């Protein structure tokens, strides 16, 4: 099965910073990758699908890129409300594996 | 607006069977534009996809290798819902369980409220 590896596992950045999270697949998954944000005590929220398509209602400071095995989630200018754990998920074929998550904190 | 409402017990003893149901409103379990999934989350295992059911020209199911052999996901078209059965539970199955809709073009955009399932003797 394809493994999904996220890095870093956690990061701390200042408001206004550019934040980048990476997700690597152990095999080619094309663009069949989604990103989620989960705030403490809340449900996961879909941010991006097809590697770079922004879900309706997601702010434009969030973007995704990549294809094949290497993917990136970028928050262009970090806000306090972005404190959360971010997950990638592959969906090209089952099992629909999640990455281990990246916890984002504000300094 | 799709809404998913989960129901089922939250406390089990080892070796029992976990049974959860997810009632769908605003969409159909028979939709050819969605799949209907079970996902769990625990501090030790993170987010873990367990399985799904989907209808295209016929019904299909897919399961995660980690639970294959113990899991059954079943649609119920008469009640527009789907269910999860997980047999022979152990304390390692303790987690918050979610039902969720995956859009046909990718991404899981609707989630049930979550059910904390605790397995303890």
pLDDT, position A56: 95
Q: How far is A78 from chain B (nearest CA, A)?
A: 23
Local confidence band at B106 (pLDDT 50, 70, 90 cut-offs): confident
pLDDT, position B5: 98
pLDDT of B53 > 90? The answer is: yes
pLDDT of B65 > 90? The answer is: yes
Backbone region of residue B73 per phi and psi (left: phi > 0; alpha: psi in -120 to 50; beta: other values): beta
Residue B1 near chain A (CB below 8 Å): no
Q: How do residues A30-60 score in pLDDT, each as one tens digit?
A: 999 999 999 999 999 999 999 999 999 999 9
Residue B111 near chain A (CB below 8 Å): yes
**% residues pLDDT > 70 (chain B):** 100
pLDDT, position A83: 98
**Mean pLDDT within A75-83:** 97
Instruction: Show Cβ contacts of residue A27 under 8 Å, excluding neighbours closer than 6 positions.
Output: A2, A69
Quick check: helix, strand or coil at residue A23? strand
Alpha carbons B28 and B4: distance in angstroms, whole number: 11
- Length, in residues, of chain A: 107
What's the whole-number average pLDDT of chain B?
97
pLDDT of B90 > 90? The answer is: yes
**Mean pLDDT within B93-115:** 96
Quick check: helix, strand or coil at residue B43? coil
Measure CA A107 to chain center.
20
The string of DSSP codes covering B61-78 is EEE-TTTTTTEEEEEETT
pLDDT, position B104: 87
The CA distances from residue A27 to A21, A68, A70, A99, B48, in Å, are 19, 8, 10, 14, 19
pLDDT, position B105: 83
**A40 closest CA partner among A89, A100, A103:** A103
Contact A87, A44 (CB under 8 A): yes
User: Are residues A89 and B49, on separate chains, in Cβ contact within 8 Å?
Assistant: yes
Alpha carbons B57 and A21: distance in angstroms, whole number: 39
pLDDT, position B92: 96
Residue A94 near chain B (CB below 8 Å): yes
User: Are residues B46 and A44, on separate chains, in Cβ contact within 8 Å?
Assistant: no
Say which residue, B35 or B45, is predicted with more confidence. B35
């Amino acid at each position: 099965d394809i493994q999904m590896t996220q890095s870093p596992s956690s990061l701390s950045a200042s408001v206004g910073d550019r934040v980048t999270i990476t997700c690597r697949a152990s095999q080619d998954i094309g663009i069949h990758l989604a990103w989620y944000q989960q705030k403490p005590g809340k449900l996961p929220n879909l941010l991006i699908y097809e590697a770079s398509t922004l879900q309706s209602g997601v702010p434009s400071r969030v973007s995704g890129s990549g294809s094949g095995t290497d993917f990136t989630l970028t928050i262009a200018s970090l806000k306090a409300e972005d404190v959360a754990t971010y997950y990638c998920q592959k969906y090209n074929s089952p099992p629909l594996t999640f990455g281990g998550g990246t916890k984002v904190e504000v300094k | 607006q799709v809404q998913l409402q989960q129901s089922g017990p939250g406390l089990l003893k080892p070796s029992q069977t976990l049974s959860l149901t997810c009632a769908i409103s605003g969409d159909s379990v028979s939709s050819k534009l969605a799949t209907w999934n079970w996902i769990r989350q625990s501090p030790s295992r993170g987010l873990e996809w367990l399985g799904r059911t989907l209808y295209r020209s016929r019904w299909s199911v897919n399961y995660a290798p980690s639970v294959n052999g113990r899991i059954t996901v079943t649609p119920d078209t008469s009640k527009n819902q789907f269910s999860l059965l997980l047999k022979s539970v152990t304390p390692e199955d303790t987690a918050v369980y979610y039902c969720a809709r995956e859009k046909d073009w990718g991404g899981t955009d609707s989630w049930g409220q979550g059910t904390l399932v605790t397995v303890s003797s």
